[in-house]
């Protein structure tokens, strides 16, 4: 059956994946929906996976390519995004991060903004996990924005600084200090002062 030009099973699988609805996903898998979907559709769904490590693993087992970034990046870039489905559950967020890294999702893959999973990350736990697995604290996009310049969370900024992020980085919005002052980030400002960074 088709709806909106796409097979209904494909549409339902994508919805279950994005919402992290394990019950619906399991039912669709049991009815053969995963075997009727192309590898590219499975990979696209995987790159938008919600807050379910079980679904992420099942998608890869069904043929999704965890190494392929889509137009919106990967499951890791989606995990740190503002619409992240794990935002309210730090434990599940870490479980998802660990699962995606374990499945081979690149830490340095870019989303549509040219940002890695560490850029725009406002969870200190997720930032520590990414850094522990080798995420680059000095990655930058075409405008020079780095993970440090892209966060407005004082704890994340301090985590990045301690991991070797360049405290002298700057982009079109200014220096790390200027952004920390604007964002009311006292721990970051104290670190900059202690290290004599203007």
Q: What is the CA radius of gyration of the chain?
A: 19
Strand partners, 175: 170
Between residues 36 and 189, the one the model is more confident about: 189
71 by Cβ neighbours in 10 Å (0-12 / 13-18 / 19+) ranks as: exposed
Cα–Cα distance measured from residue 129 to residue 178, given in angstroms and rounded to the nearest whole number: 27
Q: Where are the domains of the chain?
A: 137-198
pLDDT tens figures, 14-58: 899 988 899 999 999 998 989 988 899 999 999 988 889 999 999
CATH number of 137-198: 1.25.40.20
The model's pLDDT over 140-167, given as tens digits with 9 standing for 90+, comes to 999 999 999 999 999 999 999 999 999 9
DSSP state of 70: B
């Amino acid at each position: 059956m088709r709806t909106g030009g796409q097979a209904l099973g494909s549409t339902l699988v994508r919805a279950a994946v994005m919402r992290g609805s394990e019950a619906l996903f399991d039912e669709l898998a049991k009815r053969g929906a995963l075997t009727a979907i192309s590898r590219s559709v499975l990979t696209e769904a995987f790159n938008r996976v919600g807050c379910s490590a079980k679904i992420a693993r099942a998608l890869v087992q069904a043929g999704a390519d965890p190494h392929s970034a889509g137009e919106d990046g990967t499951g890791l870039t989606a995990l740190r995004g503002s619409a992240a489905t794990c935002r309210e559950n730090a434990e599940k967020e870490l479980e998802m991060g660990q699962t995606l890294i374990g499945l081979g999702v690149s830490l340095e893959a870019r989303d549509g903004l040219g940002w890695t999973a560490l850029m725009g990350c406002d969870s200190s736990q997720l930032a520590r996990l990414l850094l522990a697995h080798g995420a680059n604290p000095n990655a930058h996009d075409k405008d020079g924005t780095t993970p440090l310049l892209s966060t407005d969370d004082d704890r994340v900024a301090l985590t990045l600084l301690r991991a070797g992020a360049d405290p002298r980085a700057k982009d079109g919005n200014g220096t790390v200090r200027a952004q920390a002052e604007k964002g009311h980030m006292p721990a970051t400002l104290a670190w900059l002062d202690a290290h004599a960074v203007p």
